[in-house]
Structure 1
Amino acid sequence: MHLQAILFILAKRSAHELLITRFSIYPTPPADNTTTGITEALFDNFKLFANFTSASYCPSNENSTVGSPITCSGTACPLVEANNVTSVIEFGGENDTTVSDIKGYCGIDPVRSLIVVAFAGSGNTIRNYLSDFAFVEIPYTDCNACWVHSGFATGWSERRSIVLAAVSTAILAHPNYSIVVTGHSIGAAVGTLAAVELRSLNYSVDTYTYGSPRVGNEAFADFVTSQAPAQGSNFRMTHVNDPVPQLPPTWIGYQHTSPEYWLSSGNDTTEDYGAQDVVVCEGVGDEGCNAGTGLVPIDGEAHNHYLGLIDVCQGPVSL
């Protein structure tokens, strides 16, 4: 079952609600709280961490021994390979028996002095998709009146112990390294929860996410947004009319963190962007930028193209 088919079913189920809310087939112009263009340094970071995220899809980065190089087939992660990134821990993939089968790794980048936790998105197993679309909320007890998506919370809870242990081990060995969490799709949502917990343990953590769905309610989005910059910065990228960042919908209470970095030009498969093409959208629950493009018509291709085909070396989908 492909992402586009599932989104189509969801859109049909929600047709009435879509008509009575601000979802539209006509794009909403960017609001006054937007600026165009980012620094070359930040854009380079977006490209680098897209490579780290792409590597999380690759079967070559499953069940490797500690210290093994992170490698990819084809053009998936040349920047990661050039930096001689090595593995601390890898999780998910073939033979995984968890409910959500969240796939990823923790790696060490000696060139950039980084400890990176990367999470793959939907597509490795049907269980990923089921976690994506379980729109049930559960309380998030670390902040007042916060709740989060139960499927994403389950995904994080199943990887929590090994990720926290890996980061602790890595920071003991490299106390001056910076910590970054990155991910795509459901991996971006799980990565957001991972970063928030790491920050609660007094780590400074930056996040770079690509095509993230909404993770929780407005109180949670405010909570995560307010952590920057003191506890680490949040860099959330969207691509033209990618439908996944428009889910779960706002009419059941979900909201996005701020800011959003929107690749607004080109089409659904455009990958060649520059720093000048990124629109920065400020404000929790901003209704412009990606949200203003509308959930209908559905275009799943935009979800896979983030400065490259981010899931290019994904293995076959299984149960």
Structure 2
Amino acid sequence: MDVGESAENDNPHHISPELYEDLVHYFKYASSAYQPICLRPNGNTLVSQFSNVVSDIQGFVARDTRRREIVVAIRGSASVTDILMDSQIVLVPLLSPGVTVPSGTRVHSGFLVTWNSISIQLLAIMRLELAKHPEFSIVTTGHSLGGSIALLAAVALQQIFAERQVRTYSYGAPRTGNQIFAEYVNGLFGTKAYRVVHGNDGVPTVIPTSLGYRHHGIEYWQYTHPPSEQTTFQCAANGEDERCSASTPSQGVNLAHTNYFGILVSTPFCL
């Protein structure tokens, strides 16, 4: 089903237990990406780590044989360099190896620089791994800055490995690009782009729409406690549902940003 295909998505509604379990499952990868090394990501096989010392970004590629998927997890902000990248909010054309997007597509300049700093390295890892596992799908995931980079990675991976299914999960990620970019992402992934927000986490709304930014859909808003499928809304497909997290004025980095589903960000799931 494409984004916007069903009128049901125009009204926030609670999600299924199965979807809730998936959202938690991929958050554990995103949380583990904060570790210097994760030998068994989410209990699965570590394929390779990747990093760039200049942009100070890191992550890993893992293989889940049971789910038959290759998972790319990217760390969120953890240093002064990351914060500097976060602050580079000028919208620039999306120019990246292997990527072709509609005219007028623009993204956060700091996020793009960060993604491009690891893109060739990551794509080389993925080519080798996917050649060994031609039937596996691809998942990207990340928290905060990592969620935005995971989205850019998903766009590149879906274009370069067009025969594979690609899904992407972000947790507490800021707006990444303009409306043309958001609409392109919605068309490329449909319901396979999962954007999760915890309560009044201020990071997803810290970059305002007045600067030309717009979220892609669909948002999954875990709005109150205790965390469960009954306290998580699936919001409208337009990415900017004013009845969900956009209804809360941004407080920037706050307590809600530091934990998702009752899990403290950077908790390792590496055994």
**Deviation string, structure 1 residues 125-144 (Cα, Å, up to 9, x no partner):** 21011111111111125122
Q: How does 1:1-319 map to 2 (within 5 A)?
A: 33-61=10-38, 69-70=39-40, 80-81=42-43, 85-92=44-51, 97-98=53-54, 100-123=55-78, 125-140=79-94, 142-201=101-160, 202=162, 203-229=164-190, 233-266=192-225, 272-282=226-236, 283-296=238-251, 298=252, 300-307=254-261, 308-312=263-267
Counterpart amino acid of residue 302 in structure 1: A
Deviation at 1:40, TM superposition (A): 1.6
Q: SS state of the match for residue 57, structure 2?
A: coil
Query: Partner of 2:3 in structure 1?
Result: none
Measure the CA separation in 2 of the matches of 1:59 and 1:153: 23
- Count of matched residue pairs: 251
Q: Percent identity?
A: 33
Structure 2, unaligned stretches of length 5 or more? 1-8, 96-100
Q: Normalising by structure 2, what TM-score?
A: 0.87
Q: Deviations over 1:220-242 (max 9, x none)?
A: 0010011124xx71010001110
User: Aligned in 2, Cα 1:299/1:138: closer, same or farther, shift over 3 Å?
Assistant: closer
Aligned equivalents of 1:113, 1:225: Cα separation in 2 = 24
Q: Distance in 2 between matches of 1:312 and 1:128?
A: 19
Measured after TM superposition, the shift of residue 299 of structure 1 is 5.7
C-alpha separation in 2, matches of 1:292 and 1:103: 32
**CA distance, structure 1, for counterparts of residue 223 and residue 50 of structure 2:** 33
Question: 2:40 is matched by which residue type in structure 1?
Answer: I
Q: Distance in 1 between matches of 2:240 and 2:49?
A: 34
Question: RMSD of the alignment, in Å?
Answer: 1.7
The structure that has the greater radius of gyration is 1
List runs of 5+ in structure 1 lacking aligned partners.
1-31, 62-68, 72-79, 267-271, 314-319
CA contact (8 A) 2:50 2:122 kept: no
Structure 1 stretches of 4+ with a deviation exceeding 2 A read 32-36, 284-288
Normalised TM-score (structure 1): 0.75
- Secondary structure of the structure 2 residue equivalent to 1:206: strand
Task: Quote the Cα distance in structure 2 between the aligned partners of 1:251 and 1:47.
Answer: 32
- In proportion to residue count, which structure has more strand? 2
What SS class does the counterpart of residue 242 from structure 1 fall into? coil
Range with greater deviation from structure 2 (255-264 or 302-311): 302-311
Tell me by how many angstroms 1:262 deviates: 0.2
- Look up the SS of the partner of 2:46 in the other structure: strand
> Is the Cα–Cα contact under 8 Å of residues 172 and 197 in structure 2 kept in the other structure?
yes
Q: Is the 8 A contact 1:255 1:285 kept in 2?
A: yes
AA of the residue aligned to 1:305: N
Retained in 2: the 8 A contact 1:218–1:285? no
